[in-house]
């Protein structure tokens, strides 16, 4: 076991902070040296510092303050800044998680340096190249040395693309580690249901922020219309912690939000987990929220035309409905009634342990992987 390995953890957005928090904790537990590089893609407190504070994560060693911009400009700035940080730190490996522009920039910067790359959540595919995230996933996988696939399905996607078996490690998804580490705390500490006067199972939770949904006026209007129909059909109100991208688009498009939808600020992790756990159904276009709904045993309806998380559908926890209003209503009515005893396909909550064990495995070590 090589315990001298130095890991640079590159992150930049809300889901990366949440899903890498168990990895950071595991580095601390093992006393492994690591450097935290924050691109600054997300910078508003409610998408960023609130998670560092609540999840008790250390301050980033490098904060690149890249901020928002077009894809090319944002990724380009990150690339230059991450390269500089990596040249300075000289880590053995750079670890990135997921499919954002921060991930793409971290992977490409490291690929031109003598730094290995680990991709957490490798092998996910929506097979929809219209989505910027799909490009980010594919390119990152193809330059990565360690492909940490959360499931056999994602590992098979990698095999189909010809990756050598030695690069693929099926670890489970670190989101399970994060949910296990926080769900009880959420029930004990969060007062969000009382604060919003919500009764468990008598509301639906909505998140929608994907560019393909909210940047298109007609699609965003259809989505809201479909959600309104759910409210009428199921007799529940809808709670919508709204991402700044979606909030900006609502204002810009001048869209009316139906009165059954309560817009609230983005929530911290414990409050959001509590809102998820007690919802009758979750409506979302988020990747991480599809996974968490499945892990928490809450039915999910995905407001997209494709998903890179087909495991959630295969186990019966999720339905893909697109944004047609009738399809949204019908999907939610069916899902609100399903048995919720499916098995979580994303692993046992030890993904971060497996990832660090694989990274620390020197060639001389026997294959001693946590099963
Ligand atoms: C990004 C990811 C997306 C991920 C999401 C997680 C890419 C291409 N997209 O989308 O895959 O699901 O993060 O939440 O990487 N803004 C703020 N405050 C912030 C950050 C953004 O107000 O802290 C606003 C800005 O107006 C910005 C817009 O949100 O232009 C979009 O931000 P950006 O980081 O480009 O993409 P996200 O929609 O957050
Ligand atoms: N999340 C949160 N507060 C919110 C909405 C989401 O803490 O108001 C968490 C959620 O629990 C999940 C992650 O953010 O872990 C998902 O991130 P997001 O939907 O922004 O991105 P995606 O997963 O689609 O890339």
Query: What CATH number has the domain spanning 182-336?
Result: 3.40.50.2000
φ and ψ at 185, to 5 degrees?
A: -60, -40
Query: What CATH number has the domain spanning 7-173+347-360?
Result: 3.40.50.2000
Domain residue spans of the chain:
7-173+347-360, 182-336
Task: Give the global pTM.
Answer: 0.97
Instruction: Please identify which residue in the block is written with the tokens 């003598």.
Output: 114
Q: For residue 181, name the pLDDT band (cuts at 50, 70, 90).
A: very high
With pLDDT > 70 as the criterion, what percentage of the chain qualifies? 97
- CA-CA distances (angstroms) from residue 23 to 27, 71, 120, 199, 298? 6, 27, 10, 34, 26
For 59-106, the pLDDT digits (tens) are 999 999 999 999 999 999 999 999 999 999 999 999 999 999 999 999
Instruction: Judge if the beta carbon of residue 277 lies within 6 A of ligand 2.
Output: no
Q: Whose CA is nearest to atom 29 of ligand 1?
A: 245
For 335-359, the pLDDT digits (tens) are 999 999 999 999 999 999 999 999 9
Mean pLDDT of the chain: 96
Active site residues: 209
Ligand 1: which of 11, 68, 286 to mutate, most ligand atoms within 8 Å of CB?
Answer: 68
Give me the mean pLDDT over the 46-64 stretch.
Answer: 97
Instruction: Judge if the beta carbon of residue 41 lies within 6 A of ligand 1.
Output: yes
Ligand 1: which of 19, 138, 208, 245 to mutate, most ligand atoms within 8 Å of CB?
Answer: 245
Q: How far is the CA of 323 from the centre of ligand 2 (A)?
A: 20
Instruction: Judge if the beta carbon of residue 349 lies within 6 A of ligand 2.
Output: no
Q: How far is the CA of 209 from the centre of ligand 1 (A)?
A: 8
Q: Which of 1-5, 42-46, 108-112 has the lowest mean pLDDT?
A: 1-5
Instruction: Judge if the beta carbon of residue 288 lies within 6 A of ligand 2.
Output: yes
Cα separation, 164 vs 19, in Å, equals 26
Instruction: Judge if the beta carbon of residue 14 lies within 6 A of ligand 2.
Output: yes
Q: Whose CA is nearest to atom 26 of ligand 1?
A: 245
Identical topology for domains 7-173+347-360 and 182-336: yes
For 199-208, the pLDDT digits (tens) are 999 999 999 9
Q: For residue 366, name the pLDDT band (cuts at 50, 70, 90).
A: very low
For 260-287, the pLDDT digits (tens) are 999 999 999 999 999 999 999 999 999 9
Q: How far is the CA of 245 from the centre of ligand 1 (A)?
A: 6
Q: Which ligand is nearest to the CA of 177?
A: 2
Beta strand spans in the chain (E): 7-11, 34-38, 62-63, 93-97, 116-120, 146-149, 168-170, 203-207, 237-241, 261-264, 281-284, 300-302, 318-320
- Residue 36 in this model has a pLDDT that exceeds 60: yes
Q: For residue 369, name the pLDDT band (cuts at 50, 70, 90).
A: very low
Cα separation, 241 vs 244, in Å, equals 10
Q: Whose CA is nearest to atom 34 of ligand 1?
A: 41
- Residue 163 in this model has a pLDDT that exceeds 70: yes
Instruction: Judge if the beta carbon of residue 119 lies within 6 A of ligand 1.
Output: no
């Amino acid at each position: 076991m090589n315990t001298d390995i130095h890991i640079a953890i590159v992150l930049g957005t809300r889901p990366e902070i949440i899903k890498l928090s168990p990895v950071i904790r595991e580095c601390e537990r093992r006393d492994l040296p690591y450097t935290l590089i924050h691109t600054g893609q997300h910078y508003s407190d409610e998408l960023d510092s609130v998670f560092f504070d609540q999840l008790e994560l250390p301050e980033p060693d490098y904060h690149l303050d890249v901020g928002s911009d077009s894809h090319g400009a944002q990724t380009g700035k990150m690339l230059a800044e991450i390269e500089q940080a990596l040249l300075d730190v000289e880590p053995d490996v750079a670890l990135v998680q997921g499919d954002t522009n921060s991930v793409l920039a971290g992977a490409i910067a490291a690929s031109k340096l003598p730094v290995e790359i680990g991709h957490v959540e490798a092998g996910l595919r929506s097979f929809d190249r219209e989505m910027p995230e799909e490009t980010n996933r594919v390119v990152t996988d193809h330059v990565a040395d360690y492909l940490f696939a959360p499931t056999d399905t994602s590992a098979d996607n990698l095999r189909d693309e010809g990756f050598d078996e030695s690069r693929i490690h099926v670890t489970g998804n670190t989101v399970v580690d994060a949910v296990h580490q926080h769900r009880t705390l959420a029930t004990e500490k969060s007062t969000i249901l009382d604060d919003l006067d919500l009764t468990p199972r008598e509301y639906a939770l909505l998140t929608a922020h994907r560019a393909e949904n909210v940047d298109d006026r007609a699609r965003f209007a259809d989505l809201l219309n479909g959600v309104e129909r759910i409210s009428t059909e199921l007799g529940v109100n809808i709670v919508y912690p709204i991402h700044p991208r979606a909030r900006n688009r609502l204002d810009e498009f001048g869209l009316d939000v139906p009165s059954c939808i309560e817009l609230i600020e983005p929530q911290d992790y414990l409050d959001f987990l509590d809102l998820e756990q007690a919802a009758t159904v979750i409506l979302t276009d988020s990747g991480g929220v599809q996974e968490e709904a499945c892990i928490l045993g809450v039915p999910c309806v995905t407001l997209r035309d494709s998903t890179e998380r087909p495991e959630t559908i295969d186990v019966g926890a999720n339905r893909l409905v697109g944004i047609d209003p009738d399809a949204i209503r019908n999907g939610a009515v069916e899902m609100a009634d399903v048995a919720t005893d499916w098995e979580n396909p994303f692993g046992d909550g030890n993904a971060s342990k497996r990832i660090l064990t694989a990274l620390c495995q020197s060639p001389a070590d026997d294959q001693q992987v946590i099963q």
